[in-house]
Amino acid sequence: MLSPARRFRNTIYAQFARVPKALASAPRLEILQVLSQAPRTVEALARLVEMSLANTSQHLQVLRNAGLVEAEKQGLFVTYRVVDPAVTGLLLLMRNVAEARLGDVAKVTREFLSESGQDEPVDEVELLRKIKEGAVTLIDVRPPEEFAAGHLPGSISVPLPELAARLASLPRRRMIVAVCRGRYCVLGIEAVRLLRAAGLKAVRLPKAISELAAEGLAMAQGGVAP
């Protein structure tokens, strides 16, 4: 017969295990990463993560049951959001541990960046200094909803699908920094490819807006800048 102390430990650790169980899925981690940028309807989220509506809904239910996301119904649509900044912090912590302990993370990233011609190192400290001083042009290539939810002051919204049509309007004598969802965001990688192909000097910001906000950097909201 189990003692009260053993029953308590079994029960409480089973509760704790619900969170990592919900996170033990690559699609669900991607869903949380997208939701950490801005709330999304199920339909919009399914398009962004390139999954069927049914699969996206199932993953969201798992995350909701683990208390990581919440839902709000507005008319015919259901909008999901991350319940607390601590969830975004947990995602960052998981990523940092994986980067430190799993060599495959760096290998896969290096190979992909090499294929894209962007495997040169970026001095993040120096880049952030230039951003704070206004010495670079910031273009936020995320969807407009994410820009409106939070963006770097002084940045302009240029969603990736619009970038090719707006290349001529960008300054040619200043470094352009593409802002997206962080170092593993393909939006920024594709943006830099397009910018460099047009003869512009460009790099991507390795950190996501959510990371910079967590570090205390002030963010602007709303007012999608043209």
- Is 185 one of the annotated active-site residues of the chain? no
Place of tokens 């040619």: 172
The DSSP call for residue 41 is E
* 92 closest CA partner among 142, 49, 36, 141: 36
Q: Rounded to whole angstroms, how far apart are CA atoms 64 and 101?
A: 29
Task: Determine contact, residues 146/37, Cβ cutoff 8 Å.
Answer: yes
* 23 closest CA partner among 55, 56, 66: 66
In three-state form (DSSP H/G/I as H, E/B as E, the rest C), the secondary structure along 142-195 is CCHHHHHHCECCCCEECCHHHHHHHHHHCCCCCCEEEECCCCCCHHHHHHHHHH
Q: What's the gap between Cα 191 and its chain centre? A: 15
How big is the chain, counted in residues?
Answer: 226
* 88 closest CA partner among 220, 213, 226: 213
Q: Which of 60, 87, 180, 192 is catalytic?
A: 180
Catalytic residue annotation: 180
